[in-house]
Amino acid sequence: MTETPSTPSTAGAPADFDDLLAANDEFAASFDLAGFDGVARAGVAIVTCMDSRIAPLAMLGLHPGDAKIFRNPGGRVTPQALEALVLAVHLLNVDRILVIPHTRCAVASSTEEELQQRVGESAGVDASWHDFNVVADQQAALEHDVHVLRSHPLIGKRALVGGFMYDVDSGRINRLA
């Protein structure tokens, strides 16, 4: 007699993606974005945080197709963000760029060591080697990122750049740079 091996399971992780693919079936059944060319129809690009409290299109009155959106922890203008924005400005119709970090952001309210420790506890292995690029001063970081864009030889002369803060408790966006 051989025993049937039990299905491997990962504690705390979803078993699979069936729920999301079922939702996609419904989405595709009423899909109305076919034939769309992929430019930013409203001429807008947004750099913002990965935080799930942020709805980048809705908070600016935009709709699918209107904007290019680049997200990362903290909403920083990283080298990868610059790749996206150069393409967005020259090939995808973007002429306004909004950089929008937010209040109560984890990467702006923790130290590098705190995040490494929390991740290490979750992982059960050392995470002190991993960078999370925490933000010590959000205003200074935002001013820096806006300056990087305005002085960029392929972006600054072609797009308006603004720095803003999204308040996750009120939904309001305030201009800071």
Binding-site ranges for Zn ion (CB under 5 A): 49, 51, 105
Number of alpha helices (DSSP H) and beta strands (DSSP E) in the chain: 4, 5
How many whole angstroms separate alpha carbon 139 and alpha carbon 145? Answer: 10
| Distance between CA atoms of residues 143 and 117, nearest Å | 29
Contact yes or no for 72/105 (Cβ under 8 A): no
Hey, which residues does 44 pair with through a beta bridge?
A: 67, 96
Min dist CB 164 to Zn ion, Å, is: 14
Residue 105 has φ and ψ, to the nearest 5°, of -80, 135
- Round to whole Å and give the CA distance between 99 and 104: 16
49 vs 100 by CB, closer to Zn ion = 49
Burial (CB count <10 Å: 0-12, 13-18, 19+), residue 105 = buried
Angle made by CA atoms 55, 62, 27, in degrees to the nearest 5 = 70
Q: Which is nearer to Zn ion, 48 or 116 (CB)?
A: 48
Instruction: Output the smallest distance, CB 125 to Zn ion, in A.
Output: 25
Q: Report the residue number, 51 or 145, with the smaller CB distance to Zn ion.
A: 51
**Choice between 134 and 149, CB closer to Zn ion:** 134
- To the nearest whole angstrom, how small is the minimum distance from the Cβ of residue 171 to Zn ion? 15
In angstroms, give the least distance from the CB of 31 to Zn ion.
31
**Least CB distance from residue 49 to Zn ion, whole Å?**
3
Smallest separation, CB 168 to Zn ion (Å): 9
